[in-house]
Amino acid sequence: MCQLLGMNANKPTDLTFSFTGFSQRAGKTGDHVDGWGMAFFEDHGVRHFVDYQSAIISPIADVIRRYPIKSTNVIAHIRKATQGKVSLPNCHPFVRELWGNYWVFAHNGDLKTFRPRLHSHFHPVGTTDSEHAFCWLMQELHKSHAGVPSIQELTLTLRELAAEISPHGTFNFLLSNGEALWAHATTHLCYLERAWPFSKASLSDEDLSIDFAERNQPGDRTAIVVTAPLTHNEQWTHFQSGELKVFVDGAHCDY
Amino acid sequence: MCQLLGMNANKPTDLTFSFTGFSQRAGKTGDHVDGWGMAFFEDHGVRHFVDYQSAIISPIADVIRRYPIKSTNVIAHIRKATQGKVSLPNCHPFVRELWGNYWVFAHNGDLKTFRPRLHSHFHPVGTTDSEHAFCWLMQELHKSHAGVPSIQELTLTLRELAAEISPHGTFNFLLSNGEALWAHATTHLCYLERAWPFSKASLSDEDLSIDFAERNQPGDRTAIVVTAPLTHNEQWTHFQSGELKVFVDGAHCDY
Protein backbone atom coordinates (compact mmCIF):
# COMPACT_ATOMS: atom_id res chain seq x y z
CA MET A 1 0.00 0.00 0.00
CA CYS A 2 0.99 3.64 0.01
CA GLN A 3 0.58 6.73 2.09
CA LEU A 4 -0.99 10.03 1.12
CA LEU A 5 -0.46 13.58 2.32
CA GLY A 6 -2.45 16.60 1.15
CA MET A 7 -2.61 20.27 2.07
CA ASN A 8 -5.10 22.99 1.24
CA ALA A 9 -4.43 26.53 2.52
CA ASN A 10 -5.91 29.99 2.08
CA LYS A 11 -2.43 31.52 1.60
CA PRO A 12 0.76 30.06 0.11
CA THR A 13 2.15 27.90 2.90
CA ASP A 14 5.13 25.60 3.09
CA LEU A 15 4.70 21.94 3.99
CA THR A 16 8.30 21.38 5.11
CA PHE A 17 7.34 20.33 8.67
CA SER A 18 4.68 17.82 7.59
CA PHE A 19 6.75 16.41 4.71
CA THR A 20 9.71 15.90 7.08
CA GLY A 21 7.55 13.64 9.24
CA PHE A 22 5.73 12.02 6.33
CA SER A 23 8.90 11.14 4.42
CA GLN A 24 10.27 9.22 7.46
CA ARG A 25 7.69 6.58 6.57
CA ALA A 26 9.68 5.89 3.39
CA GLY A 27 12.16 3.62 5.16
CA LYS A 28 12.52 4.79 8.78
CA THR A 29 9.08 4.61 10.46
CA GLY A 30 7.43 2.78 7.54
CA ASP A 31 8.35 0.60 4.54
CA HIS A 32 7.07 2.82 1.71
CA VAL A 33 10.35 2.74 -0.18
CA ASP A 34 9.21 2.17 -3.81
CA GLY A 35 9.23 5.77 -4.96
CA TRP A 36 7.60 8.98 -3.95
CA GLY A 37 6.12 12.04 -5.56
CA MET A 38 4.81 15.47 -4.69
CA ALA A 39 2.97 18.21 -6.57
CA PHE A 40 2.73 21.84 -5.45
CA PHE A 41 0.20 24.18 -7.03
CA GLU A 42 1.36 27.75 -7.39
CA ASP A 43 -0.59 30.37 -9.32
CA HIS A 44 -2.31 27.64 -11.45
CA GLY A 45 1.12 26.17 -12.25
CA VAL A 46 2.39 22.91 -10.78
CA ARG A 47 5.79 21.86 -9.52
CA HIS A 48 5.75 18.11 -9.96
CA PHE A 49 8.44 15.89 -8.44
CA VAL A 50 8.56 12.13 -8.86
CA ASP A 51 11.28 9.64 -8.05
CA TYR A 52 11.42 5.88 -7.84
CA GLN A 53 14.02 6.11 -5.09
CA SER A 54 12.79 6.22 -1.50
CA ALA A 55 12.00 9.69 -0.16
CA ILE A 56 14.68 9.11 2.51
CA ILE A 57 17.58 8.89 0.04
CA SER A 58 16.25 10.92 -2.93
CA PRO A 59 18.32 14.13 -3.40
CA ILE A 60 15.20 15.92 -4.67
CA ALA A 61 13.20 14.98 -1.54
CA ASP A 62 16.10 16.32 0.49
CA VAL A 63 15.83 19.72 -1.26
CA ILE A 64 12.08 19.78 -0.56
CA ARG A 65 12.68 19.14 3.15
CA ARG A 66 15.18 22.02 3.24
CA TYR A 67 13.77 24.49 0.70
CA PRO A 68 10.33 25.84 1.67
CA ILE A 69 8.12 25.79 -1.44
CA LYS A 70 5.02 27.85 -0.66
CA SER A 71 1.79 26.55 -2.11
CA THR A 72 -1.97 26.62 -1.56
CA ASN A 73 -2.53 22.99 -2.61
CA VAL A 74 -0.11 20.11 -2.24
CA ILE A 75 -0.43 16.37 -2.82
CA ALA A 76 2.34 13.96 -1.78
CA HIS A 77 2.61 10.18 -2.01
CA ILE A 78 5.07 7.55 -0.85
CA ARG A 79 4.73 4.18 -2.48
CA LYS A 80 4.98 0.58 -1.53
CA ALA A 81 4.38 -1.15 -4.85
CA THR A 82 1.50 -3.63 -4.98
CA GLN A 83 0.29 -3.07 -8.58
CA GLY A 84 2.68 -2.05 -11.37
CA LYS A 85 6.48 -2.20 -11.26
CA VAL A 86 8.76 0.32 -9.54
CA SER A 87 9.40 2.87 -12.29
CA LEU A 88 9.03 6.57 -12.93
CA PRO A 89 5.76 6.43 -14.94
CA ASN A 90 4.15 4.54 -12.03
CA CYS A 91 5.03 7.16 -9.40
CA HIS A 92 2.14 9.19 -8.02
CA PRO A 93 0.91 11.88 -8.10
CA PHE A 94 -0.27 11.97 -11.71
CA VAL A 95 -0.99 15.21 -13.57
CA ARG A 96 -3.40 15.94 -16.42
CA GLU A 97 -4.83 19.14 -17.90
CA LEU A 98 -8.61 19.62 -18.07
CA TRP A 99 -10.49 22.88 -18.86
CA GLY A 100 -7.18 24.79 -18.87
CA ASN A 101 -6.31 23.66 -15.34
CA TYR A 102 -3.86 21.08 -14.09
CA TRP A 103 -5.39 18.27 -12.06
CA VAL A 104 -3.26 16.24 -9.65
CA PHE A 105 -4.21 12.81 -8.30
CA ALA A 106 -2.68 10.30 -5.89
CA HIS A 107 -4.18 7.00 -4.73
CA ASN A 108 -3.67 4.53 -1.94
CA GLY A 109 -5.19 1.09 -2.38
CA ASP A 110 -5.87 -1.54 -5.01
CA LEU A 111 -8.54 -1.47 -7.73
CA LYS A 112 -7.75 -4.80 -9.34
CA THR A 113 -11.12 -5.24 -11.07
CA PHE A 114 -11.54 -1.65 -12.30
CA ARG A 115 -10.38 -1.36 -15.91
CA PRO A 116 -13.15 0.53 -17.72
CA ARG A 117 -12.67 1.40 -21.38
CA LEU A 118 -11.10 4.83 -21.84
CA HIS A 119 -12.75 6.30 -24.91
CA SER A 120 -11.76 9.95 -24.51
CA HIS A 121 -8.47 11.86 -24.46
CA PHE A 122 -7.08 10.63 -21.15
CA HIS A 123 -4.88 7.53 -21.24
CA PRO A 124 -2.46 6.13 -18.69
CA VAL A 125 1.28 6.28 -19.42
CA GLY A 126 2.24 3.78 -16.72
CA THR A 127 0.70 0.46 -15.71
CA THR A 128 -0.97 1.21 -12.37
CA ASP A 129 -4.66 0.74 -11.63
CA SER A 130 -4.43 4.18 -9.97
CA GLU A 131 -3.55 6.10 -13.13
CA HIS A 132 -6.25 4.18 -15.02
CA ALA A 133 -8.81 5.27 -12.42
CA PHE A 134 -7.55 8.87 -12.62
CA CYS A 135 -7.92 8.92 -16.43
CA TRP A 136 -11.46 7.57 -16.05
CA LEU A 137 -12.28 10.27 -13.46
CA MET A 138 -11.00 12.99 -15.84
CA GLN A 139 -12.97 11.50 -18.75
CA GLU A 140 -16.18 11.33 -16.72
CA LEU A 141 -15.76 14.82 -15.21
CA HIS A 142 -15.36 16.20 -18.70
CA LYS A 143 -18.42 14.33 -20.00
CA SER A 144 -20.55 15.40 -17.01
CA HIS A 145 -20.11 19.15 -17.43
CA ALA A 146 -20.46 21.24 -20.58
CA GLY A 147 -18.52 24.19 -19.16
CA VAL A 148 -16.23 24.64 -16.17
CA PRO A 149 -18.28 23.62 -13.12
CA SER A 150 -18.20 25.17 -9.65
CA ILE A 151 -16.39 23.44 -6.79
CA GLN A 152 -19.79 22.42 -5.40
CA GLU A 153 -20.87 20.86 -8.73
CA LEU A 154 -17.51 19.10 -9.07
CA THR A 155 -17.88 17.72 -5.56
CA LEU A 156 -21.30 16.26 -6.29
CA THR A 157 -20.03 14.63 -9.51
CA LEU A 158 -16.88 13.29 -7.83
CA ARG A 159 -18.98 11.80 -5.03
CA GLU A 160 -21.01 9.86 -7.62
CA LEU A 161 -17.91 8.75 -9.55
CA ALA A 162 -16.05 7.67 -6.39
CA ALA A 163 -19.07 5.57 -5.41
CA GLU A 164 -18.88 3.80 -8.80
CA ILE A 165 -15.18 2.95 -8.38
CA SER A 166 -15.20 2.08 -4.66
CA PRO A 167 -16.81 -1.40 -4.93
CA HIS A 168 -13.81 -2.49 -7.03
CA GLY A 169 -11.32 -2.25 -4.16
CA THR A 170 -9.71 0.25 -1.83
CA PHE A 171 -10.01 3.80 -3.07
CA ASN A 172 -8.33 6.31 -0.77
CA PHE A 173 -7.40 9.25 -2.97
CA LEU A 174 -6.47 12.92 -3.05
CA LEU A 175 -7.34 15.14 -6.00
CA SER A 176 -6.77 18.85 -6.60
CA ASN A 177 -7.27 21.39 -9.37
CA GLY A 178 -5.28 24.05 -7.53
CA GLU A 179 -8.38 25.59 -6.00
CA ALA A 180 -9.87 22.74 -3.96
CA LEU A 181 -8.56 19.53 -2.44
CA TRP A 182 -10.86 16.50 -2.62
CA ALA A 183 -10.19 13.51 -0.39
CA HIS A 184 -11.98 10.16 -0.48
CA ALA A 185 -11.49 7.32 1.99
CA THR A 186 -12.25 3.63 1.86
CA THR A 187 -10.00 2.66 4.76
CA HIS A 188 -7.51 5.16 6.26
CA LEU A 189 -7.58 8.94 5.94
CA CYS A 190 -7.76 11.70 8.55
CA TYR A 191 -7.55 15.48 8.57
CA LEU A 192 -7.15 18.54 10.72
CA GLU A 193 -7.47 22.28 10.27
CA ARG A 194 -4.90 24.66 11.67
CA ALA A 195 -6.24 28.15 12.36
CA TRP A 196 -6.04 30.92 14.97
CA PRO A 197 -5.13 30.47 17.80
CA PHE A 198 -2.31 28.30 16.46
CA SER A 199 -0.60 25.87 18.77
CA LYS A 200 2.58 23.84 18.98
CA ALA A 201 2.70 20.57 17.05
CA SER A 202 5.08 17.64 17.51
CA LEU A 203 5.73 15.07 14.79
CA SER A 204 4.94 11.41 15.44
CA ASP A 205 7.67 10.13 13.08
CA GLU A 206 10.57 12.41 14.01
CA ASP A 207 11.72 14.33 17.07
CA LEU A 208 10.64 17.72 15.76
CA SER A 209 8.19 20.33 17.04
CA ILE A 210 6.96 23.60 15.62
CA ASP A 211 5.01 26.46 17.12
CA PHE A 212 2.58 27.50 14.38
CA ALA A 213 1.64 30.62 16.42
CA GLU A 214 5.11 32.01 15.70
CA ARG A 215 4.86 31.44 11.94
CA ASN A 216 1.25 32.39 11.15
CA GLN A 217 -1.04 35.40 11.13
CA PRO A 218 -4.58 35.40 12.64
CA GLY A 219 -6.32 34.97 9.24
CA ASP A 220 -4.18 32.02 8.06
CA ARG A 221 -5.88 28.65 7.71
CA THR A 222 -4.52 25.28 6.58
CA ALA A 223 -6.12 21.85 6.24
CA ILE A 224 -3.92 18.74 6.25
CA VAL A 225 -5.19 15.34 5.06
CA VAL A 226 -3.05 12.26 5.64
CA THR A 227 -3.24 8.46 5.78
CA ALA A 228 -2.22 8.34 9.48
CA PRO A 229 -1.88 11.28 11.92
CA LEU A 230 1.40 13.16 11.53
CA THR A 231 1.46 14.70 15.00
CA HIS A 232 0.66 13.25 18.41
CA ASN A 233 -0.62 16.37 20.14
CA GLU A 234 -3.25 17.64 17.68
CA GLN A 235 -6.84 16.54 17.14
CA TRP A 236 -7.14 14.51 13.90
CA THR A 237 -10.60 13.63 12.53
CA HIS A 238 -10.88 10.25 10.84
CA PHE A 239 -12.86 9.83 7.61
CA GLN A 240 -15.77 7.39 7.50
CA SER A 241 -15.47 4.68 4.86
CA GLY A 242 -16.98 5.98 1.61
CA GLU A 243 -16.71 9.63 2.61
CA LEU A 244 -15.59 12.26 0.08
CA LYS A 245 -14.67 15.62 1.60
CA VAL A 246 -13.64 18.85 -0.10
CA PHE A 247 -11.35 21.53 1.33
CA VAL A 248 -11.24 25.12 0.08
CA ASP A 249 -9.26 28.03 1.55
CA GLY A 250 -7.85 25.81 4.28
CA ALA A 251 -11.22 24.60 5.60
CA HIS A 252 -13.56 21.66 5.14
CA CYS A 253 -16.65 22.64 3.09
CA ASP A 254 -20.11 21.27 3.81
CA TYR A 255 -20.92 20.34 0.20
CA MET B 1 13.78 35.71 -25.92
CA CYS B 2 14.79 32.40 -24.44
CA GLN B 3 17.30 29.65 -24.92
CA LEU B 4 16.66 25.98 -25.61
CA LEU B 5 18.67 22.84 -24.89
CA GLY B 6 17.68 19.34 -25.97
CA MET B 7 19.26 15.91 -25.81
CA ASN B 8 18.44 12.63 -27.52
CA ALA B 9 20.55 9.56 -26.70
CA ASN B 10 20.50 5.85 -27.44
CA LYS B 11 21.21 5.01 -23.77
CA PRO B 12 20.28 6.84 -20.55
CA THR B 13 22.82 9.64 -20.36
CA ASP B 14 23.26 12.51 -17.94
CA LEU B 15 23.24 16.09 -19.16
CA THR B 16 25.12 17.56 -16.18
CA PHE B 17 28.02 18.94 -18.27
CA SER B 18 25.81 20.64 -20.87
CA PHE B 19 23.32 21.97 -18.31
CA THR B 20 26.19 23.44 -16.26
CA GLY B 21 27.24 25.53 -19.27
CA PHE B 22 23.68 26.25 -20.41
CA SER B 23 22.49 27.47 -17.00
CA GLN B 24 25.31 30.06 -16.87
CA ARG B 25 23.28 31.95 -19.48
CA ALA B 26 20.62 32.53 -16.80
CA GLY B 27 22.44 35.50 -15.31
CA LYS B 28 26.20 35.01 -15.82
CA THR B 29 26.90 34.76 -19.56
CA GLY B 30 23.33 35.70 -20.59
CA ASP B 31 20.29 37.56 -19.19
CA HIS B 32 17.75 34.72 -19.27
CA VAL B 33 16.74 35.17 -15.64
CA ASP B 34 12.92 34.91 -15.79
CA GLY B 35 12.57 31.26 -14.89
CA TRP B 36 13.77 27.97 -16.22
CA GLY B 37 12.52 24.45 -16.68
CA MET B 38 13.71 21.01 -17.63
CA ALA B 39 12.05 17.70 -18.42
CA PHE B 40 13.80 14.31 -18.39
CA PHE B 41 12.18 11.28 -19.98
CA GLU B 42 12.84 8.02 -18.22
CA ASP B 43 11.08 4.79 -19.13
CA HIS B 44 8.07 6.73 -20.56
CA GLY B 45 7.86 8.73 -17.33
CA VAL B 46 8.88 12.38 -17.04
CA ARG B 47 10.72 14.27 -14.35
CA HIS B 48 9.52 17.83 -14.86
CA PHE B 49 11.15 20.76 -13.08
CA VAL B 50 10.02 24.36 -13.44
CA ASP B 51 10.94 27.46 -11.47
CA TYR B 52 10.39 31.17 -11.98
CA GLN B 53 13.70 31.87 -10.26
CA SER B 54 16.80 32.08 -12.42
CA ALA B 55 18.61 28.78 -13.01
CA ILE B 56 21.67 30.31 -11.32
CA ILE B 57 20.00 30.75 -7.91
CA SER B 58 17.29 28.05 -8.00
CA PRO B 59 18.02 25.31 -5.42
CA ILE B 60 16.40 22.73 -7.74
CA ALA B 61 18.68 23.72 -10.65
CA ASP B 62 21.60 23.33 -8.27
CA VAL B 63 20.57 19.73 -7.50
CA ILE B 64 20.32 19.00 -11.24
CA ARG B 65 23.85 20.32 -11.83
CA ARG B 66 25.16 18.09 -9.03
CA TYR B 67 22.92 14.99 -9.28
CA PRO B 68 23.26 13.12 -12.60
CA ILE B 69 19.76 12.24 -13.80
CA LYS B 70 20.14 9.74 -16.64
CA SER B 71 17.71 10.09 -19.49
CA THR B 72 17.31 9.34 -23.19
CA ASN B 73 15.42 12.55 -24.00
CA VAL B 74 15.77 15.91 -22.26
CA ILE B 75 14.39 19.36 -22.99
CA ALA B 76 15.55 22.41 -21.03
CA HIS B 77 14.63 26.08 -21.30
CA ILE B 78 15.80 29.31 -19.71
CA ARG B 79 13.47 32.24 -20.10
CA LYS B 80 13.69 35.92 -20.69
CA ALA B 81 10.05 36.95 -20.59
CA THR B 82 8.70 38.74 -23.67
CA GLN B 83 5.12 37.37 -23.72
CA GLY B 84 3.27 36.47 -20.50
CA LYS B 85 4.27 37.41 -16.97
CA VAL B 86 6.99 35.70 -14.90
CA SER B 87 5.06 32.95 -13.13
CA LEU B 88 5.14 29.20 -12.71
CA PRO B 89 2.39 28.35 -15.26
CA ASN B 90 4.36 30.30 -17.90
CA CYS B 91 7.61 28.35 -17.40
CA HIS B 92 8.63 26.01 -20.20
CA PRO B 93 8.79 23.13 -20.91
CA PHE B 94 5.10 22.26 -20.99
CA VAL B 95 3.82 18.68 -20.66
CA ARG B 96 0.68 17.04 -22.02
CA GLU B 97 -0.43 13.42 -22.47
CA LEU B 98 -1.43 12.15 -25.92
CA TRP B 99 -1.95 8.50 -26.96
CA GLY B 100 -0.76 7.34 -23.52
CA ASN B 101 2.59 9.14 -23.88
CA TYR B 102 3.83 12.34 -22.32
CA TRP B 103 4.80 15.06 -24.77
CA VAL B 104 7.19 17.83 -23.75
CA PHE B 105 7.52 21.17 -25.57
CA ALA B 106 9.66 24.29 -25.19
CA HIS B 107 9.72 27.35 -27.46
CA ASN B 108 11.98 30.29 -28.13
CA GLY B 109 10.47 33.23 -29.99
CA ASP B 110 7.26 35.22 -30.29
CA LEU B 111 4.05 34.18 -32.03
CA LYS B 112 2.03 37.29 -31.35
CA THR B 113 -0.53 36.75 -34.12
CA PHE B 114 -1.07 33.01 -33.64
CA ARG B 115 -4.13 32.41 -31.46
CA PRO B 116 -6.15 29.72 -33.28
CA ARG B 117 -9.31 28.42 -31.65
CA LEU B 118 -8.65 25.36 -29.53
CA HIS B 119 -11.66 23.11 -29.98
CA SER B 120 -10.29 19.85 -28.60
CA HIS B 121 -9.06 18.69 -25.19
CA PHE B 122 -5.82 20.68 -25.01
CA HIS B 123 -5.98 24.10 -23.39
CA PRO B 124 -3.26 26.36 -22.02
CA VAL B 125 -3.01 26.86 -18.26
CA GLY B 126 -0.73 29.91 -18.49
CA THR B 127 -0.83 32.96 -20.75
CA THR B 128 2.07 32.41 -23.16
CA ASP B 129 1.76 32.22 -26.94
CA SER B 130 4.11 29.20 -26.66
CA GLU B 131 1.72 27.03 -24.63
CA HIS B 132 -1.12 28.04 -26.95
CA ALA B 133 0.92 26.85 -29.94
CA PHE B 134 1.79 23.60 -28.13
CA CYS B 135 -1.90 22.89 -27.40
CA TRP B 136 -2.71 23.52 -31.06
CA LEU B 137 0.10 21.15 -32.16
CA MET B 138 -1.28 18.43 -29.84
CA GLN B 139 -4.81 18.99 -31.13
CA GLU B 140 -3.74 18.81 -34.76
CA LEU B 141 -1.47 15.77 -34.24
CA HIS B 142 -4.41 13.97 -32.66
CA LYS B 143 -6.77 14.96 -35.49
CA SER B 144 -4.25 13.95 -38.17
CA HIS B 145 -3.77 10.35 -37.06
CA ALA B 146 -6.39 7.76 -36.16
CA GLY B 147 -3.96 5.53 -34.27
CA VAL B 148 -0.49 6.04 -32.87
CA PRO B 149 1.70 7.08 -35.83
CA SER B 150 5.31 6.14 -36.47
CA ILE B 151 8.12 8.62 -35.86
CA GLN B 152 8.37 9.13 -39.63
CA GLU B 153 4.64 9.89 -39.95
CA LEU B 154 4.79 12.23 -36.95
CA THR B 155 7.75 14.04 -38.51
CA LEU B 156 5.89 14.63 -41.77
CA THR B 157 2.83 15.97 -39.91
CA LEU B 158 4.92 18.17 -37.62
CA ARG B 159 6.74 19.62 -40.62
CA GLU B 160 3.38 20.66 -42.11
CA LEU B 161 2.11 22.07 -38.81
CA ALA B 162 5.33 23.99 -38.10
CA ALA B 163 5.07 25.57 -41.56
CA GLU B 164 1.55 26.78 -40.70
CA ILE B 165 2.69 28.42 -37.46
CA SER B 166 6.02 29.85 -38.66
CA PRO B 167 4.67 32.83 -40.64
CA HIS B 168 3.20 34.17 -37.38
CA GLY B 169 6.58 34.92 -35.82
CA THR B 170 9.69 33.19 -34.54
CA PHE B 171 9.18 29.49 -33.93
CA ASN B 172 12.29 27.78 -32.61
CA PHE B 173 11.05 24.78 -30.65
CA LEU B 174 11.96 21.42 -29.17
CA LEU B 175 9.40 18.63 -28.80
CA SER B 176 9.75 15.08 -27.51
CA ASN B 177 7.52 12.09 -26.81
CA GLY B 178 10.30 10.21 -25.03
CA GLU B 179 11.30 8.32 -28.16
CA ALA B 180 12.27 11.09 -30.60
CA LEU B 181 13.38 14.69 -30.29
CA TRP B 182 12.01 17.12 -32.89
CA ALA B 183 13.67 20.49 -33.36
CA HIS B 184 12.46 23.35 -35.53
CA ALA B 185 14.33 26.58 -36.20
CA THR B 186 13.26 29.98 -37.46
CA THR B 187 16.37 31.83 -36.29
CA HIS B 188 18.91 30.16 -33.97
CA LEU B 189 19.37 26.44 -33.37
CA CYS B 190 22.37 24.15 -33.85
CA TYR B 191 23.21 20.55 -33.07
CA LEU B 192 25.99 18.02 -32.82
CA GLU B 193 26.26 14.27 -32.43
CA ARG B 194 28.72 12.72 -30.01
CA ALA B 195 29.77 9.19 -30.94
CA TRP B 196 32.85 6.96 -31.06
CA PRO B 197 35.68 8.04 -31.10
CA PHE B 198 34.65 10.47 -28.38
CA SER B 199 36.75 13.54 -27.76
CA LYS B 200 37.32 16.18 -25.14
CA ALA B 201 34.84 19.07 -24.99
CA SER B 202 35.28 22.47 -23.32
CA LEU B 203 32.33 24.65 -22.34
CA SER B 204 32.00 28.12 -23.85
CA ASP B 205 30.18 29.55 -20.79
CA GLU B 206 32.25 28.09 -17.95
CA ASP B 207 35.83 26.95 -17.42
CA LEU B 208 35.01 23.25 -17.56
CA SER B 209 36.15 20.42 -19.82
CA ILE B 210 35.18 16.81 -20.08
CA ASP B 211 36.70 13.87 -21.90
CA PHE B 212 33.72 11.93 -23.27
CA ALA B 213 36.05 9.05 -24.25
CA GLU B 214 36.50 8.30 -20.54
CA ARG B 215 32.77 8.21 -19.81
CA ASN B 216 31.33 6.45 -22.86
CA GLN B 217 31.36 3.06 -24.55
CA PRO B 218 31.92 2.57 -28.33
CA GLY B 219 28.19 2.11 -29.08
CA ASP B 220 26.98 5.19 -27.17
CA ARG B 221 25.53 8.04 -29.20
CA THR B 222 24.10 11.38 -28.12
CA ALA B 223 22.67 14.32 -30.07
CA ILE B 224 22.60 17.76 -28.48
CA VAL B 225 20.46 20.61 -29.87
CA VAL B 226 20.89 24.11 -28.48
CA THR B 227 20.20 27.77 -29.31
CA ALA B 228 23.93 28.67 -29.41
CA PRO B 229 26.93 26.28 -29.32
CA LEU B 230 27.76 25.08 -25.80
CA THR B 231 31.38 24.15 -26.50
CA HIS B 232 34.13 25.94 -28.44
CA ASN B 233 36.08 22.92 -29.66
CA GLU B 234 33.37 20.78 -31.26
CA GLN B 235 31.72 21.01 -34.67
CA TRP B 236 28.18 22.42 -34.36
CA THR B 237 25.82 22.33 -37.36
CA HIS B 238 23.46 25.28 -37.68
CA PHE B 239 19.82 24.78 -38.70
CA GLN B 240 18.49 26.50 -41.79
CA SER B 241 15.51 28.76 -41.21
CA GLY B 242 12.33 26.69 -41.52
CA GLU B 243 14.08 23.37 -40.97
CA LEU B 244 12.53 20.66 -38.80
CA LYS B 245 14.88 17.85 -37.81
CA VAL B 246 14.20 14.68 -35.86
CA PHE B 247 16.65 12.78 -33.68
CA VAL B 248 16.25 9.12 -32.68
CA ASP B 249 18.73 6.97 -30.75
CA GLY B 250 21.20 9.84 -30.55
CA ALA B 251 21.37 10.51 -34.28
CA HIS B 252 19.76 12.79 -36.82
CA CYS B 253 17.25 10.89 -39.03
CA ASP B 254 16.78 11.64 -42.70
CA TYR B 255 12.98 11.79 -42.60
pLDDT of residue A11 exceeding 70:
yes
- Contact A89/B121, CB-based, under 8 Å? no
Contacts of B150 (CB under 8 A, 6+ apart): none
The residue type of B203 is: L
Return mean pLDDT, chain A: 92
Which member of A2, A91, A135, A190 is catalytic?
Answer: A2
A121-157 residue pLDDT tens: 999 999 999 999 999 999 999 999 988 999 999 999 9
Q: In B71-228, which residue ranges form alpha helices assigned H by DSSP?
A: 129-144, 151-165, 212-215
Chain A contact set for B101 (CB, 8 A): 125
pLDDT of residue B248 exceeding 70:
yes
- Contact A51/B47, CB-based, under 8 Å? yes
pLDDT of residue A84 exceeding 70:
no
Give the confidence band of B28 by pLDDT, cuts at 50, 70, 90. Answer: confident
List the single residue in B44, B45, B63 with the smallest CB-CB distance to A59: B63
Average pLDDT value for residue range A95-120: 95
Give the confidence band of B147 by pLDDT, cuts at 50, 70, 90. Answer: confident
Distance CA B36, CA B240 (A): 26
Chain B contact set for A44 (CB, 8 A): 88-89, 125-126
Tell me how close the Cα of B199 comes to any Cα of chain A, in angstroms.
31
- CB-based burial of residue A186 (10 Å sphere; 0-12 exposed, 13-18 middle, 19+ buried)? buried
Q: pLDDT at position A83, please?
A: 64
B70-111 residue pLDDT tens: 999 999 999 887 666 778 999 999 999 999 999 999 999 999
Instruction: Print the domain residue range for B242.
Output: 2-253
Give the confidence band of A70 by pLDDT, cuts at 50, 70, 90. Answer: very high
User: Does the complex come out with an ipTM higher than 0.90?
Assistant: yes
Chain B contact set for A122 (CB, 8 A): 97
Structural domain count of chain B:
1
- Contact A88/B47, CB-based, under 8 Å? yes
List the single residue in A with minimal CA-CA distance to B101: A125
Q: pLDDT at position A117, please?
A: 95
Decide if B91 is catalytic.
no
Distance CA B137, CA B147 (A): 16
CATH number for position A90:
3.60.20.10
B67-78 residue pLDDT tens: 889 999 999 999
- Cβ–Cβ < 8 Å for A41, A176: yes
CA dihedral for B124, A94, A75, B105, sign (positive or negative): negative
